[in-house]
Structure 1
Amino acid sequence: MAGKSIIIIGAGLGGLATGCYGQMNGYKTKIFEMQNKPGGVCVAWQRKGYSFDYTVHNVFGVTTNPKVKNVYTQLWQELGALKDTAPYHFEEFVQVEDVDGKVLTLYTDLNKLEAHLKQLAPADSKIIEEFVYAARKIGGHDLFDAMVGGTFAKIKMLPLMSTLVKFGKINIKAYGEKFSDPFLRKAIPTIQYDIAEVPTLVPLLFLSVQEKGDAGWPIGGSNALSGNIAKRYLELGGEIEYNKKVAKIIVKNDVAVGVQLEDGSEHFADRIVSNADGYSTIYGMLGGKYVTKAIEAYYRAYPKLQSFGLEVWYGVNMEFPKEPHAIVCFLEQPITIEGIPRDRLDIEIFNFDPTMAPKGKTVVKVVLESNYDYWKNLSADPEGYKKEKQKVADQIAVALEKRFPLFQSKIEVIDVATPISVERWTALYRGCQAWPAPAEHQKEINKNGLFKTLPGLANFYGVGQWAGGTIGLSTVSLMGRNLIKDFCKLDGKQFKTA
């Protein structure tokens, strides 16, 4: 590659965004992707006419409101991510259902939500008002622009700081304990994808942007989103080589100069950017020669039970026109999966996107926490591993039938993704998405990321969830934009977005 050239490892959204903005700014870029399609973990696949989407839930900047303009709406416009793709806005974030028939619907209309919560638990009016007021207050500020803006943008956020600090310090499990109503104490900890440990600030942020119509689902899901950005990248003159796995980053005198593929071929560039898994990059491609104490501590602190670790899809010959798209359903009788009693199911019903299933049919997905080691041990016996996946799918189907009559008889196809599946597709360490930083390094990683650069190694950079130590399709795509902006500054160039 002549001139200022960039090799990008991985065609996930962070890598694709890096490539797009690189091409816009006169760099010659090339992406090597181990899979046969773009997207990384932002992916879906077809089974008998059904589309099983692995990733997308609610994407910031996917707006139904033309008046909403911020860094993420601008990002998606520049990347062509939503071209010919209609955004869909959910009227509810999730519905939580108890075994006695009580229902909490987390409406994205905050007035409606407040009235609903007070009807459920009049005695908790004070804490309900505090919760909804915080969401409104956050929604009154442009938090996204403040995150990437300069000093003035951050000064404008000062009136919000006490709210951010207060709700950033308490997770939704602890916040749920502030309610006196037994059902809300049980339900509130499940409202953010059934992950009780997330800060209460997270669902407040989602609710605040959803009320403005600034978070939603791109019709077509993961494949539409990643496919559009890949198309934009190619139109800008970029190159992608699929089915090309990088085995090694070539380093000379502590300078990253190229990559060696599994087939032995070598490719060179002025800068190397990894959008690949962090562990595979740092300890595999670079041999563990460039690490920090924060990196070492981070990988020692992997979660034993990982969120979104086990996903089960059903293609069913049924329609669910009146059901919410997301349900946390408590069970009368727990089911045991991976040796762990499960008293509820986190259910997603893709009844809002006509591209997900043939007419009159629907994809239903159930997501559970999962233990990598459980499935790793099983995978040593391929037949036993396959049988256990089927057993899990059957158990869940029986439970779903109690909520959706005739469900089992209407199933046409099933698929199950374990942490081993994800590890095989993407080379993610333990098949896991990025997890929270250990406490002793939290401030450092939250500020600097995990491996946006590495100590003692020149011309190497990281983008994506692992590099940033964070998650979110919007977030990792923005990292690619910011990286090229930094390159332009280094090279004395004006940053362009077209």
Structure 2
Amino acid sequence: MPDEDDWDSRHRAPGSTPRVIVIGAGIAGLSTGCYAQMSGMRTRIFEKHVLPGGCCTAWSRDGYLFDYCIEWLIGTAAGNDANQVWRELGALDGKTVRNFELFNKVVDEGGRSVTFWNDPARLEEHLLRVSPADARLIRSFCRDLRRFTEIELYPFLTAPALRTVRERAATLRTVLPAFRLFWRTAATPMHRFADRFEDPLLRRAFRNIFFQDPEGFPLLPYLFNMASAYHGNAGFPQGGSLGLARSVEERYTGLGGTVTYRARTEKVLVDNGRAIGIELRNGRRYYAEHIVSACDGHTTIYELLGGRYTGARVDKLYTDLLERPGTLFPAVVSAFVGVQGGLPTEDAHSTTYLLPPAAAAELPGALQSSLVVQLRSRYSDGFAPPGKSVVHCTYFSDYTYWKELRHSDRKAYRARKREVAAFVRRFLERLWPGTAERIDLVDVASPATTRRYTGNHNGSILAWKAFSDADDVSADLVGKDRMRLPGLSGFSMAGQWVGMGGLIRAASTGRFATQYLCEELGLPFRAWESGGTTPWHPGRLGQLPQLDRWSSREGTGA
């Protein structure tokens, strides 16, 4: 029998199956491992952190669970390709899904509000009450939303370069009848559409359907995601972000894979233009026939590979677009609030509050004049101890502000985080009088926190911004370059720095990378649903890190 435990050997044992090393146990890395295992390869994942998931994570504080990532998950309803990917990865096994009737609510400084119901008819009726003068635009938006509810287009199963004639024809049958709709809504920037409203609240509210204004998005993603939510296909899975990651990790290890935590990769070993292994920070070397990097793109290209393998597309992304304003999805400040007792049942699960300039100026590093308040206890069980609740407050923020502050003056850095905590306390007290005295703790995570724990460049959770100049370049990396780098064989990249932001896109890049690798190795690509039925419970999250011990007392997070 060939030796299957040969990761420290440059040469694979005769008769053994191909070895694949994956760098990073985020959703893309775990997905790559799952599909490679299903397709007959042997894999090992090396992760620098103590948890799977990357940004799809959570942490614990005094019995509260602070869920960091998922706000909605495409693919929670049966019968579409996105859901098939999650079923194959075991992500939804044994879980219930919470669906909400509204996508988000927006409230202005004077208390006027707009509720973005997922149901087009209900939304239209509500918006017409808010501003009868804007009837034409309102009906136009809701008419488009109705059309999107009739379209299912989730191209997440087959890598672009490997799609068959039949698959391409099926896509055309979906796209062609709605081509003008796709073209028009993709070519119309939301800010330009919103500026046409007479009502000043609607002009601002439409920009914030996605909680805050991502700036530069056209109408299409708003309509697509609201239509998905209408069908229950953009829900919140039980267990939340870390629960999703743990389920995929369980699926991976059940397929025979191994995750090594606290294992930071320092370099990819290359011999004669071929990746042959990795070297960890502790000096240990591991070898494989193929290496997949599913971590931060800039780190991969310029640190792990020393910047030796680039080309026109890689240079375009990482020397031209990376620091260009509006190319990366903004970083976020998160303030988790643990509250004794319940929260107002009449309030929406998610609300964007538009702030007056003076109030917005009190939020350190804020990029926009708004604060998002989400009642996370309504999303899933287990996020708060019995009889208590969790509120998650967020705002887009400048990564450089936090990075430089933390680097130059750690005391001032912690002081700014206490300012965030104090602002949130005051805000929630004004919103719900009597709340301040019920607050157990406020835990603040800055963009610098995201960078420290995940390695994501500039603390950007979603990497490249969709519909930016990076979108087409990234698509070519996946379709034309097959997720490879020029001049380097035996190496692939997966994740959001290749396939754009969003968890289903991250998961699909693992599928695509494996499909390309199977074609190269002459192996059949195989995938099947996990079929797990064990009911989910919070105990399956495992031991949770406390991040920085000092912070729970100061209420400033990691």
Taking structure 1 as the reference length, the TM-score comes to 0.94
Q: Are 2:419 and 1:396 aligned? A: no
Instruction: State the one-letter code of the partner of 1:108.
Output: N
User: 1:15 aligns to what?
Assistant: 29
Aligned length: 493
User: 1:234 aligns to what?
Assistant: 253
User: 1:381 aligns to what?
Assistant: 409
User: 1:432 aligns to what?
Assistant: 460
Q: Secondary structure at the match of 1:351?
A: helix
User: 2:299 aligns to what?
Assistant: 280
Instruction: Map Cα deviations across residues 431-469 of structure 1 (whole Å, 9 max, x no partner).
Output: 22313379666433234359921111111101111122x
**TM-fit CA distance, 1:407:** 2.2
Q: Report if aligned partners of 2:82, 2:156 keep a CA contact under 8 Å in 1.
A: no
How many angstroms apart in 2 are the aligned matches of 1:107 and 1:229?
Answer: 31
Q: Are 2:479 and 1:465 aligned? A: no
Instruction: Map Cα deviations across residues 183-242 of structure 1 (whole Å, 9 max, x no partner).
Output: 211211111121241222111111111111111101110111000000010010001100
1:254 pairs with one of 257, 270, 273: 273
The more displaced of 245-254 and 188-197 is 188-197
**TM-fit CA distance, 1:155:** 1.4
User: 2:342 aligns to what?
Assistant: 319
The more displaced of 132-141 and 14-23 is 132-141
Q: Secondary structure at the match of 1:84?
A: coil
Q: Secondary structure at the match of 1:436?
A: coil
**TM-fit CA distance, 1:342:** 5.6
Instruction: State the one-letter code of the partner of 1:89.
Output: N
**TM-fit CA distance, 1:308:** 4.2
Gaps of 5+ in 1: none
1:423 pairs with one of 428, 434, 451: 451
Structure showing the higher strand proportion among its residues: 1
How many angstroms apart in 1 are the aligned matches of 2:183 and 2:335?
Answer: 36
The more displaced of 287-296 and 47-56 is 287-296
Q: Secondary structure at the match of 2:125?
A: helix
Q: Secondary structure at the match of 2:310?
A: coil
Q: Are 2:316 and 1:294 aligned? A: yes
How many angstroms apart in 1 are the aligned matches of 2:490 and 2:102?
Answer: 45
Instruction: State the one-letter code of the partner of 1:177.
Output: D
The more displaced of 222-231 and 157-166 is 157-166
Instruction: Map Cα deviations across residues 20-61 of structure 1 (whole Å, 9 max, x no partner).
Output: 111111100000000111111100001111111111110011
Gaps of 5+ in 2: 1-5, 7-11, 529-558
Distance change in 2, residues 1:236/1:138 (3 Å): same
Q: Are 2:375 and 1:361 aligned? A: no
How many angstroms apart in 2 are the aligned matches of 1:359 and 1:7?
Answer: 42
How many angstroms apart in 1 are the aligned matches of 2:248 and 2:28?
Answer: 10
Q: Secondary structure at the match of 1:364?
A: strand
Q: Are 2:124 and 1:114 aligned? A: yes
Distance change in 2, residues 1:496/1:342 (3 Å): closer
Q: Report if aligned partners of 2:477, 2:498 keep a CA contact under 8 Å in 1.
A: no
Q: Secondary structure at the match of 2:437?
A: helix
Q: Secondary structure at the match of 1:233?
A: helix
Q: Secondary structure at the match of 1:334?
A: helix
**TM-fit CA distance, 1:300:** 3.4
**TM-fit CA distance, 1:374:** 1.2
**TM-fit CA distance, 1:385:** 1.2
Instruction: Map Cα deviations across residues 288-315 of structure 1 (whole Å, 9 max, x no partner).
Output: 1112332322323265996342111111
Q: Are 2:230 and 1:211 aligned? A: yes
2:41 pairs with one of 20, 27, 30: 27
2:509 pairs with one of 479, 486, 490: 479
Distance change in 2, residues 1:427/1:209 (3 Å): same
Q: How does 1:54-203 map to 2 (within 5 A)?
A: 54-63=68-77, 68-145=78-155, 150-156=167-173, 157-197=175-215, 198-203=217-222
Q: Secondary structure at the match of 2:355?
A: strand
**TM-fit CA distance, 1:360:** 2.3
Taking structure 2 as the reference length, the TM-score comes to 0.84
**TM-fit CA distance, 1:172:** 1.9
Q: Report if aligned partners of 1:79, 1:232 keep a CA contact under 8 Å in 2.
A: yes
**Aligned Cα RMSD in Å?**
2.1
The more displaced of 115-124 and 221-230 is 115-124
